[in-house]
Structure formats: structure tokens, C-alpha cells
């Protein structure tokens, strides 16, 4: 991998037009590989994201004895080994840049009777992992991080996990999923209570693979999800919709480039993931769902976005867990909106592939945007975006967000350290240029 891949953008005035399909949903791709590997029988997956993150997940299960054919054009066939069929890996399992993979696989490996070690790249090696190892340890797992609470994660074999009733300290689908996956192996019922809604792909996909998962709504925000250990996952055919997080870059681009009329095909519109659309609509965006349908338990639609001038808003904190990955590009929307946009109660953004609050503040300031940084968010005053040099801090979403900014900047933008875009959106450059943006490597 190139250690310093640079994107350069050229300001454009031509509108974004046409119809495109962005790659498959990354969250669902990870889970489809994991559940297919643990299922009894052969599973067929369509629409798989063939990015480096998902390939790291597939490689990890292949290192534990799972066989697979593909992927080829998003199609992957996996011969599952059953819940107890994984074998001890010979070497450490490298999760690359993927926090999702590391945290979810921790829940699975915590229940195995063999030792394992999870490692990652420089960015992942600085991300907090005690948030999963602590609840897993309370179930009887033997797992540890380094002294700073970061990877590598060392996991020792156990014979049996005990169920827990865990209350999430923060709204996090990754922590919820890690505990639930460990709960599949526990001796009894494991429950996770979340303080606010988070993406529910784990719950939906467990059902698709024949494993009962129960959700009890406690109030408008909180709910409890429960599984009973000792069941089986059965092979399934899964059709993964396009990733709304990837589509979000084009939604914002079409919303800020005058005259744009762009359709994004076959996008997953799971209500736990549409926070970015809710925020953009509150800013005045013209976003319509076309051809709504249900694919394998997940709602899907074609999304049509037409240009309209955006206005600044105070973003409701309830959208933070529902749009956590989309806030970098929402910052670009805010920089183009009329008035002030406020993001708050979003300190979790500081613990992603980069400190995304700091990264966006530094980059937007370099482009002449007026803003105020806070511990848990940022206030952005919309106006003109100038050209300049931006550091993406090896964060794929920061790099792509500033590529969108280049569509309306007064001069070119040079974005440094963009190699990790391949982890989630390997054909981003091709699609961006296809609809009328101008991004060069």
C-alpha cells in the first residue's frame, strides 16, 4: 500500500448527474462473512464490499479453517464450519484498519477454547478496546489489551462463557454486537441495554441466519436486545444493499453543487442508519426515496438527490449514533450552508480512525471556513470554501469528505494520506469522476 497517497480536487461548476451504485454496506459485509463462517452449511453472499477491511475479516476466518470461493464482483460463497468448528490460527489475526472487525470478532473469539491475538494497522492500534474487553471479561472471557487499552488484544481459551445483563455506557453498535456474539456461546440469556438506538444489522442478520434475537423497547430511546446461548446459525443467501455511509458523500455533493440531480441505486435505508438523511432534510436537502423494497430483512431504496440551498441548524444529538460515520461529510454540508450549524454530544467522533472532530476542524480552517471547536463537537459558519492543503490523518472518511468539498471550492484542494479510502470505498475516485466531480490521485 502506498504510504502517502494524495488526492487533488479541481473546483467545478458543472452539476452532478446520473445514476450510480456505491459499494455494498461495510457493516453488513463484515457480519455476513462472520455469520456465514459460523453457520451450518453453505452461504451465498451478493453485493459484498470488496474493500480491505472486509477482506481482512474474510482472511481471519480463513486462517481459522473456513473455506470460501470468491469474492468475484461482490459474490462470495462460504462453507460454514458451525458454531464450534473454528480452529486455532497459527499467527496473529490482522484486522487492518477495521474497528468493527476487531470488536465483533473479539466477541466470537472470547468464547473459543483456543488462544488468539488480534492486531491492526497504526490507526487501529490507537483505538480504545477496553470498551469490549471489559464486558467480555465479565462473562468469563480471558482477554486483555495493551496498557493503554488499545490493540493488540490477547485472548486465551475458555470452556464456557456466562451470560450477562449489560448496560452500554455509550450508544455503540460495535460494543452491543460484541457482547451479543459472545452471548451466542453463553450458558443462558445475555442482554444488552442501549441508551439510544444504534444500527441493528447484527439483530436483523442473526434472524436471517435462523438465530432468535429479541428486542424490547423501553422508551423512545432505550431498548434491550437479548439472545440465548447454545443455538445454531443456519446457512443463508444474503443480498447486501449499497452502503448508505458511502452514498452519503454523493448525497452531500449533489446537495451543494448547483443544478445537480443524482440517483443512488439500491441503498440500504435501515432506520438505524438514516440519521444522515434526517439531518440533511432538516438542513433543507431535497432527498426522495424511490422504488422502496425489502431485501433479506433490510429496507432498500433508490435515493434521488437534487440541489437546493442548505441552511445551518443545531443538529439534534439523537442523530449522533444514527449518523456517527457521516459527520465528516456533514461538516462539509455545514460549511456550505447558510448560517451556523452546531454539532454537539459527539465526543465519540474523537475515537474513530482519527480524532474526526480535530481532523475536520484543522482541514476546514485550512480552507478558510469559520468555526469554533468544542470538546464534544463544533460550530461551523457556512460560507465560501477556498483551496488549500488538507491532512486526512490516514482516515478514509476525512479524505472523501474533503474530496466532496473540492466540488465547490474556489481553488483546488490537495488531500494528503488518502491510502485508507480503499478500506471502505475502493472505487470512490471512479464514481466521483463519473458523476462530474474532479478528483485525481
What is d(CA 254, CA 258) in angstroms, rounded to the nearest whole number? 8
Residue 23, burial from CB neighbour count under 10 angstroms (0-12, 13-18, 19+): buried
Secondary structure (3-state) at 158: coil
Contacts 24+ apart (CB under 8 A), 33-36: 33/57, 33/58, 33/61, 33/76, 33/78, 34/61, 34/104, 34/105, 34/108, 34/181, 35/205, 35/206, 35/209, 35/233, 35/236, 36/78, 36/80, 36/209, 36/235, 36/236, 36/238
CB 38 within 8 A of CB 83: yes
Q: What is the rounded radius of gyration, in angstroms, for the C-alpha atoms of the chain?
A: 21
CB 400 within 8 A of CB 51: no
What is d(CA 414, CA 389) in angstroms, rounded to the nearest whole number? 5
The CA–CA distances, whole Å, from 318 to 100, 198, 285, 293, 325 equal 22, 10, 19, 26, 14
* Among 239, 243, 325, 395, the one annotated catalytic: 325
CB 306 within 8 A of CB 263: no
CB 93 within 8 A of CB 128: no
| Residue 224, strand partner residues | 193, 216
The yes-or-no answer on residue 261 being catalytic is no
- DSSP type of residue 25: P
What is d(CA 390, CA 137) in angstroms, rounded to the nearest whole number? 41
Residues involved in catalysis = 325
Amino acid at each position: 500500500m502506498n504510504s502517502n497517497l494524495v488526492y487533488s480536487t479541481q473546483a467545478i461548476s458543472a452539476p452532478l448527474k446520473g445514476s450510480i451504485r456505491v459499494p455494498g454496506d461495510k457493516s453488513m459485509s463484515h457480519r455476513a462473512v462472520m455469520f456465514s463462517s459460523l453457520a451450518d452449511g453453505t452461504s451465498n453472499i451478493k453485493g459484498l464490499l470488496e474493500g480491505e477491511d472486509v477482506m481482512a475479516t474474510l482472511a481471519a476466518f480463513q486462517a481459522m479453517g473456513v473455506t470460501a470461493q470468491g469474492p468475484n464482483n461482490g459474490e462470495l460463497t462460504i462453507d460454514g464450519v458451525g458454531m464450534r468448528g473454528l480452529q486455532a490460527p497459527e499467527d496473529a489475526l490482522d484486522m487492518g484498519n477495521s474497528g468493527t472487525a476487531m470488536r465483533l470478532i473479539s466477541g466470537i473469539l472470547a468464547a473459543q477454547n483456543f488462544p488468539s491475538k488480534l492486531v491492526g494497522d497504526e490507526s487501529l492500534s490507537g483505538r480504545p478496546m477496553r470498551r469490549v474487553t471489559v464486558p467480555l471479561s465479565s462473562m468469563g472471557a480471558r482477554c486483555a489489551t495493551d496498557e493503554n487499552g488499545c490493540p493488540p488484544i490477547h485472548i486465551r481459551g475458555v470452556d464456557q462463557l456466562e451470560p450477562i445483563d449489560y448496560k452500554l455506557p455509550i450508544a455503540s453498535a460495535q460494543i452491543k454486537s460484541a457482547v451479543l456474539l459472545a452471548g451466542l456461546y453463553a450458558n443462558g440469556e445475555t442482554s444488552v441495554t442501549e441508551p439510544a438506538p444504534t444500527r441493528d444489522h447484527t439483530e436483523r442478520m442473526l434472524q436471517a441466519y435462523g438465530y432468535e434475537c429479541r428486542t424490547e423497547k423501553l422508551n423512545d430511546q432505550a431498548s434491550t436486545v437479548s439472545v440465548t446461548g447454545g443455538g445454531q446459525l443456519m446457512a443463508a443467501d444474503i443480498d447486501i444493499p449499497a452502503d448508505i455511509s458511502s452514498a452519503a458523500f454523493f448525497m452531500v455533493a449533489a446537495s451543494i453543487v448547483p443544478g445537480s440531480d443524482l440517483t443512488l441505486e439500491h441503498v440500504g435505508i435501515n432506520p438505524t442508519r438514516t440519521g444522515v438523511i434526517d439531518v440533511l432534510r432538516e438542513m433543507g436537502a431535497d432527498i426522495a426515496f424511490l422504488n422502496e423494497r425489502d431485501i433479506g430483512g433490510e429496507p432498500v431504496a433508490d435515493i434521488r438527490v437534487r440541489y437546493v440551498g442548505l441552511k445551518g441548524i443545531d443538529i439534534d444529538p439523537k442523530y449522533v449514533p444514527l449518523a456517527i460515520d457521516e459527520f465528516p461529510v456533514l461538516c462539509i454540508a455545514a460549511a456550505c450552508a447558510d448560517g451556523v450549524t452546531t454539532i454537539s454530544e459527539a465526543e465519540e467522533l474523537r475515537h474513530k480512525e482519527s480524532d474526526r472532530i480535530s481532523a475536520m476542524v484543522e482541514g476546514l480552517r485550512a480552507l478558510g471556513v469559520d468555526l469554533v471547536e468544542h470538546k464534544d463537537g463544533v460550530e461551523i459558519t457556512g460560507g465560501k470554501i477556498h483551496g488549500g492543503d488538507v491532512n486526512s490523518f490516514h482516515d478514509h472518511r476525512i479524505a472523501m469528505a474533503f474530496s466532496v468539498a473540492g466540488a465547490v471550492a474556489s481553488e483546488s484542494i490537495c488531500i494528503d494520506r488518502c491510502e485508507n479510502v480503499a478500506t471502505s470505498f475502493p472505487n470512490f475516485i471512479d464514481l466521483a469522476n463519473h458523476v462530474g466531480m474532479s478528483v485525481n490521485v
